[in-house]
Structure 1
Amino acid sequence: MTWTTYISAYLFRTTGEPMLYGNMTSFLIFSFIIIFFIAKDETDIPALFKSLKSVVSKIKDNSFLKSNVIEIAYVLAFLSIWTFLVIGSFNIKDGVMRIGWSVSSDFSTHLAVIRSFSYGSNFPSGYPHFADGNMRYHFMFMFLAGNLEFLGLRLDWAFNLPSILSIVSFLMLLYSFAVLLLGEKIIGVVTGILFFFRSSFAFFTFITGKPSIKEALKELKNLKEHIGNTLNEEWGLYAQKVYVNQRHLPFVLGIMMLVLIVILPLFIKMMTSIGELYQERVKKSDEEQMPDENKDSESFWKSYVKEFIFSKNAWIPESIFTSVVLGVILGLSSFWNGAVVIAALLVLFVMAVFSKHRLQYLIMASITVVLAYCQTQFFVKSGGSVVSPSIYIGFLANTNGLEQDLSRYFANNGLWATLEHFFKLIPYVTAFYIELLGLLPFIVAINLLSRNSKYKYHISLLFIAVTQVIGYFFIKYKLDSDDKIINKQLFTGSMLFALLLVVFACMAYMFYENSPVPRGTRALILAFSTPIIFASSVKLTLGVDINHKYVIIGSILVNIFVASFIFFLFKVKKPFATLVAVLVSVMITITGFADLKVLYNLNNSYVTINCDDPLLVKVKNDTGKDEIFLTDNYHLHPLLLSGRKIFCGWPYFVASAGYDWDLRNDIRRRILTATDQNTLKKLVEENNISYIVIDNGLRNSQGFTVNEELIRNTFSVFYDDGVDVVIYKTH
């Protein structure tokens, strides 16, 4: 419906009220659709009311509540938590907009985009911080919020309400997927908890960075910067802050989970067929006292290859309609959050290899890519590509100065030197992910071990030996290279405890065989890990830090198997297994608790803006909705909250979105330092600038001197607050 409203508004962009006509058109279209389906089969209406009556009666006699108590508790708990966090980070009280420190950076762009639709006229859509008619930013969630404000919701509710519904819906779908996959409700609940509390060794690097644990905990009480020693981890790139800040992310994560739920039966179907072949092989071996092992093995693998590759069901789509619908849904999400769409395609690619009806995946992926490409061409136009991919190894790993951009390294040094260089990077990347993800990769690796093999104990011993060697070199590397670690003995002790816990976890996993590993676990772990692999090997934009979304998405999915592991250990009801499960749970979630405390501290401090700020009101009421302002490097400013666009905004937001800030900054400098009226008027006209905003930031600029006298003599004063800001009208 949001896309229908947007397209309709775009078609009415020249009317002066595109949002009004867009909503009217959307309302009429969907009203017609609803009436059409009701009129088409009137017998469905009584059946619908009968179903609703049945649900109500079940709720009244408590049968619904009793059978769904886990789901109800799960939803209510996360609904309460996320409502508190979302509203706490952004709200309006007594006419004052309060923007928590946790979100004040990204909300500079988000709120500007929202207001560009609710107060402005952003058609064709452009980036408010860089008015050029191109939109490189995934903005559709902000359009939804802007439309809700236009329709009458107050800004905080227009943004907060869909944000809360999005993340709770995503968590419900994540729960459903985990239960569908592994058949246990508790695994779904634990998966949701692990989503909230990330696995990392950041807590341990934090406490060992202080003289004592007591001092570390005392500092954590008032800390307003996220913990962790990896590059930019203090930004909260992997913490709960991400979902409070980047509110468009959970919306598309929910769509990704919906697609995975619908497509999972194709994977299960292939795994079931392969499992039946294995069972048949075992049955034959049991029936024949002296089987010909070579002949039996040859027959089995022929059947395996035939089933996996050459059977009709391995390729022919089961439902083309389903593929088309999923492809359209996923494709239309690319400008809601493109990173999630890419991650979903990566996961689906690997799942397709191990699924029946592979062409169904191909149809879905093709439609997704085509729709994403069409949207890019429409929104970016002549502004160039949204992405410029390169091979970039290690994400944000500290590689001790080694080149990470292998595309550039290959161009300069050739293939063999590049391969050699790649292997040099591996230890640094491994250390980075151990520190960043904590026990997570070790527990996931344990899930890969076979408990049915006759060599299972040998494999376990080998796994334990390898992990201990890796752990030893990790500890040594951190002690030698991380000067933030002060209490080296405590760090060594905590890491040795973690490694010992991995040993115990592996032993518990192998000793208690009550619950066999579902067939396809390894394939799914590979599929779910592909976003992390992608983040570690490809850079799509100028800044590689945005790859944190892929790490988050991969972690969310593989956490399903971590939740399964924890549940299994509790389920066996053995003291040793229970103790290991408790310790693993604490080690995995403790950093997440610290992140939550930091987020709470951040949201206790606000950036405030008056909703009736004189500049905001004046600009909103007395300027054209599509007019452009030349300003200083504004980010979170009343002018942007008036729904207007600026010529060149804050460098980080402009450059990270793929715009040429340097070029615009040079033009701005030439306008502000012009020495004659002809040059000034020409530059203003060429760049379609309607207003020039001069404030003390520009007056005191270190790089140049503003010729405000010339601007004043050339143009009329539109607004003057008498203290700081003067706005000149250029036409």
Structure 2
Amino acid sequence: MLGIIYLILAMLLGYEASAFLIEKEEQKISVNRIWLKLPAAFGTGILLLTWSVYIVAWFFSVVGGVQNPLLYGNVIVLVSGTVILAVILMIKKKKNHPFLEGKLWEDKSRFRKELILYGLLLVFITYMMFYVFYIRDGVLYSGLTVYGDYAPHTAMMRSFSLGNNFPTQYPHYGGADVKYHFMFQFLAGNLEYLGLRLDFAYNIVSIGSLLGFLMLLSQLAVRITGRFCCGAVTVILFFFRSGAAFFRYVWEHLQTGDLLAALLENTSFIGYTVNENWGLWNFNVYLNQRHLAFGLLIVTLVIYVFLDWLEAGTSHKEKGFSWFIQRILSLQAWKSRNLEKALIMGLLLGLSAFWNGAAVIGGLLILLGFAIFSDGKVDYAVTAGTAVFFSFLQTKIFIRGSAMDTRLYLGFLAEEKNFWGVVKYLFWMGGIFFLGLILLVFFMKRREKAMLTGFLFPVIFAFVLLMTPDINVNHKYIVIAYGFLSVFWAWAICSLWGKKLWKKLLAVLLAVCLTATGIYDFVIILRGNGTGHRVTVNMNSDLTRWLADHLGKQDLLLTPEYSMNEVTMSGVMLYCGWPYYAWSAGYDTNYRADRAVEIYTATDESVLRSVVKEEKITYILFEEGSEFEQKECQEALISQTFEKVYETEDRRIRIYKTIDDE
């Protein structure tokens, strides 16, 4: 119940906080503002309220030394938020202002269509979120295509709901800083702390984030094109990606004569570019990276507002090169249009950095592209500067050393690191989607060309720079750009759908080319996460409870290379969990893996004690038949050296304490 109250309060406060950004008089077309206000309220409310709880809880834990900091954080923030909301209502009542100021829908015909669209979206997204992650009869079920990402995410959630993760550490690499954006997981963990079951806590905020982002994206499409059809088709293109993989797959199996069997029996993502079979480009990304949608909700809100600046810049009468020079050199091009709004947008982006850093970077890149053609360039600089300042401030608080290791890396995942290699890669990965934009440009006006340029900036970035140890992470920038670029393909499809039959056939053909691979990917998502394709975890485990009750934030537990199980669900700090999670976030997993092997294979007691003490490991977990880095774990010396403090009922797992109680 408290979790639901938290979300409702966040929405109400967010409605007021976002009122300054969504103003009726700034809309250029007839628009039903409710579809802007709802996601804006959800995004800003969740962002501000959750940061407030985190900061207060952090203070009580780190400065006050309390063992249950979330209690203080939630009580203080929820009470304060309720008081603030009550004061706002009193002031409005005194001034005879309604709480919901202004008419929230003006086009009733479009409103009915949008209500159906977003209602269907809500049902679909809810079904998919619970399809891949749910709890039944005390058992957590997580689909095979998504559980790998859920492993570190659920561990982080549990580190807050069951533990006291302040100052925050990364559970799969405990005892260090936290390099991975974690605030979305903190929100889900806090909601579980407030009484929501873990799957409800995680799924509800995921549903709200993705639905809110798609509301804003479709409304962005409507604003750009003036057509409801384009908003609806944009959503369809978002779910079902373009690609050449399906057509090549069909052709290959037609030649071998087993096409029907291959289509019906296959359970793996298809693809012919590097790691495409991971599901890097399809809807699976939004199922396993739930926090990406929340980051994009905030980014899309900011982009929607900044369209005013871009439209002002592209509406000037100068022609060609003269217009472009004026957008660079004229005073009007640089003079601020709304400095206060620019500051607020920068604050929202900056506070989103530890919700999803890739979304913020992608958003800033799009705004950089917009700024070239816009009026009010000072406002862009203020927004970017504010966002960077708050992002930098957070990295200094949470991360030791450098937050990113930015370096030149040309070609992304293309096998040939040259221009034609990139062109071939884009075709096989995206089909006509990216390369076909060259043709669409000839049908665009100045405003749309400027938008297209901005939306392409994250794609260029992905092929030029590397900011993490894992180049695959750059796929998020292309995924981000894909969502916004879908608007133009939706426009093309809707424009072709006219009275003439040949145009309708061409529209259908274009739609098939843009969605066939994504539709088959979606079939694989359903198969790959269905019955028999799910990882299960006992949520009523005695092992989980024991670890949560007996290990504190200062403890470090050595385990085999665990991904997601009863141990990680306790939220305790692992010395070195599944290495990929920590490695891709920037941690030195090779060093810890070597030390872990030393401990598990030690034959000398003095060496064992020395390594354990140096690495500040307070507990060692041994599981029958376990390995670490393909080396068999040995228990004999560990059991002789340290005290056994826990053993599971089936005697499969034993835990040893390496330090004496004082």
- TM-score, length-normalised on structure 2? 0.87
The letter of the residue matching 1:197 is F
Matched residue type, 2:421: Y
Q: Distance in 2 between matches of 1:328 and 1:38?
A: 25
Which shows bigger deviation, 550-559 or 319-328? 550-559
Residue deviations 1:578-604 (CA, integer Å, cap 9, x gap) = 221111111111111101100000111
Matched, 1:730 2:658: yes
CA–CA distance in structure 2, aligned partners of residues 667 and 209 of structure 1:
48
Per-residue CA deviations over 1:241-274 (Å, capped at 9, x if unaligned) read 1111110011111111100111101110111123
2:620–2:656: 8 Å Cα contact kept in structure 1? Answer: yes
For residue 40 of structure 1, report the CA deviation from its aligned partner: 3.8
Taking a change above 3 Å as real, the CA distance of residues 104 and 67 of structure 1, as seen in their structure-2 partners, is: closer
Paired residue for 1:456? none
Give, in angstroms, the shift of residue 167 of structure 1.
Answer: 0.5
Q: Is the 8 A contact 2:642 2:656 kept in 1?
A: yes
Deviation at 1:673, TM superposition (A): 3.6
Instruction: Give the structure 1 partner of residue 541 of structure 2.
Output: 613
Where does residue 370 of structure 2 map in the other structure? 351
Structure 1 residues 703 and 310: alpha-carbon distance in aligned structure 2, compared to 1, 3 A threshold? closer
Give the deviation of 1:87 after TM superposition: 0.3
Aligned match of 2:31: none
1:374 alignment counterpart: 393
In the alignment, is residue 433 of structure 1 matched against residue 429 of structure 2?
no
Instruction: Give the equivalent residue in structure 1 for 2:79.
Output: 28
Deviates more, 1:323-332 or 1:663-672: 663-672
From 135, 141, 154, give the equivalent of 1:98: 141
The Cα of 1:323 is off from its aligned counterpart by: 0.7
Name the structure 2 match of 1:530.
457
Partner of 1:132: helix, strand, or coil? coil
Question: Taking structure 1 as reference, are residues 313 and 700 closer, same or farther at Cα in structure 2, changes over 3 Å only?
Answer: closer
1:137–1:702: structure 2 CA closer, same or farther, 3 Å change rule?
closer
Match of 2:235 among 168, 184, 192: 192
2:502 aligns with 576
Among 383, 401, 422, which residue is 1:364 paired with? 383
**Structure 1 residue identity aligned to 2:407:** S
In structure 2, distance between residues paired with 1:368 and 1:318: 18
Q: Confirm whether residue 598 of structure 1 aligns to residue 598 of structure 2.
A: no
- Which residue of 17, 20, 43 maps to 2:68? 17
RMSD: 2.2
Give runs of aligned pairs for residues 689-728 of structure 1, distance below 5 A: 689-698=617-626, 702-703=630-631, 706=634, 708-721=635-648, 722-728=650-656
1:170–1:251 CA contact under 8 A, matched in 2: yes
Deviations 1:334-385 (A, max 9, x none): 111111111111110110110011100000000111111111111112xx32
| AA partner of residue 544 (structure 2) | L
Task: Using the TM superposition, give the Cα deviation of residue 103 of structure 1 relative to its aligned residue in structure 2, in angstroms.
Answer: 1.1
Q: How far is the alpha carbon of 1:215 from its aligned partner?
A: 2.5
Whole-angstrom distance in 2 between the partners of 1:21 and 1:523: 48
Cα distance, 1:214–1:337 mapped onto 2, change above 3 Å: farther
**Identity level (%):** 36
**TM-score, scaled relative to structure 1:** 0.79
Do the aligned partners of residues 429 and 698 (structure 1) sit closer, same or farther apart at CA in structure 2, a change above 3 Å counting?
Answer: same
Answer yes or no: is 1:72 the counterpart of 2:91. Answer: no
Matched residue SS, 1:48: coil
| Candidates 39, 45, 52, aligned match of 1:4 | 52
SS at match of 1:440: coil
Query: Per chain length, whose mean CA-contact separation is higher, i.e. which structure has more relative contact order (CA < 8 Å, sep 6+)?
Result: 1
Give the length in aligned residue pairs.
Answer: 605
Q: 2:56–2:72: 8 Å Cα contact kept in structure 1?
A: yes
Of the candidates 135, 143, 148, which is equivalent to residue 186 of structure 2? Answer: 143
2:475 to 548, 551, 568: 548
How far apart, in 2, do the equivalents of 1:349 and 1:163 lie?
28
Deviation at 1:699, TM superposition (A): 6.4
Q: Which runs of 5+ in 1 are unaligned?
A: 279-299, 405-424, 451-516
AA in 1 matched with 2:333: A
Q: Does 1:446 align with 2:419?
A: no
Deviation digits for residues 564-619 of structure 1, max 9, x if unmatched?
11111113x22222221111111111111101100000111211111112211222
For 1:174, the equivalent position in structure 2 comes to 217
Compared CA separation, residues 49 and 650, structure 1 to 2 (3 A): closer
Q: Distance in 2 between matches of 1:152 and 1:366?
A: 39
Distance (Å, rounded) in 2 between the aligned partners of 1:563 and 1:163:
25
What amino acid does structure 1 have at the position aligned with 2:292? L
1:700: Cα distance to partner?
Answer: 8.7
**Contact 2:561–2:628 (8 Å) recurs in 1:** no
Q: In the alignment, which of 143, 147, 157 is matched to residue 114 of structure 1?
A: 157
User: How far apart, CA to CA, are the structure 2 residues paired with 1:44 and 1:674?
Assistant: 75
- CA deviations on 1:481-505 (whole Å, 9 max, x unpaired) are xxxxxxxxxxxxxxxxxxxxxxxxx
AA aligned opposite 1:121:
N
Task: Answer yes or no: is 1:646 the counterpart of 2:574.
Answer: yes
CA distance in structure 2 between the aligned counterparts of 1:592 and 1:306, rounded to whole angstroms = 41
Aligned residue number for residue 334 of structure 1: 353
Matched residue SS, 2:168? coil
1:585 is aligned to 2:633: no
Offset, 1:625:
4.8
In the alignment, the residues of structure 2 paired with residue 93 and residue 65 of structure 1 have an alpha-carbon distance, to the nearest angstrom, of: 41
Note closer, same or farther for the CA distance 1:701–1:247 as it changes in structure 2 (3 Å cut): closer
Q: State how far apart, in whole Å, the 2-side matches of 1:726 and 1:522 are.
A: 63
Match of 1:133 among 176, 187, 199: 176
d(CA) in 2 for partners of 1:50, 1:559: 33
Structure 2 residue aligned with 1:419? none
SS in 2 for 1:47: coil
d(CA) in 2 for partners of 1:140, 1:190: 32
Q: Contact between 1:220 and 1:598, CA under 8 Å: does it hold in 2? A: no
Amino acid at match of 1:8: V
Q: Could you report, residue by residue, the CA deviation over 1:58-79 in whole angstroms, capped at 9, with x for unpaired residues?
A: 9xxxx98644122112101211
Q: C-alpha distance in 2, partners of 1:146/1:703?
A: 34
Residue-by-residue CA offset, 1:541-583 (whole Å, 9 max, x unaligned) = 1111111111111111111111111111113x22222221111
Deviation of residue 442 (structure 1)? 4.1
1:387 aligns with 2:411: no
Cα displacement (A) at 1:88: 0.3
SS at match of 2:446: coil
Find the residue that maps to 1:97 and give its secondary structure: strand
* 1:261-289 alpha-carbon deviations (Å, 9 max, x no partner): 11101110111123xx45xxxxxxxxxxx
Paired with 2:549 and 2:259, the residues of 1 have a C-alpha distance of: 51
Structure 1 position 41, deviation (Å) = 4.4
Opposite residue 445 of structure 1, the aligned amino acid is I
Task: Give the 3-state SS of the residue equivalent to 1:238 in structure 2.
Answer: coil
Structure 2: stretches of 5+ with no match in the other structure: 1-48
Q: Which moved more, 1:64-73 or 1:517-526?
A: 64-73
- Structure 1 residues 122-157: Cα deviation after superposition (integer angstroms, max 9, x where no partner): 111111010123111111111110000000000000
Q: Highest Rg: 1 or 2?
A: 1
Match of 2:491 in 1: 564
Q: Which residue of 1 aligns with 2:23?
A: none
Q: Structure 1 residues 37-46 or 601-610, which shifts more?
A: 37-46
Q: Residue 583 of structure 2 aligns with which residue?
A: 655
Q: Residue 99 of structure 2 aligns to a residue in which SS?
A: helix
Question: Cα distance, 1:679 vs. partner?
Answer: 3.8
**Secondary structure in 2 matching 1:607:** strand
Q: Is the Cα–Cα contact under 8 Å of residues 89 and 99 in structure 2 kept in the other structure?
A: no
In structure 2, what is the Cα distance between the partners aligned to 1:49 and 1:545?
44
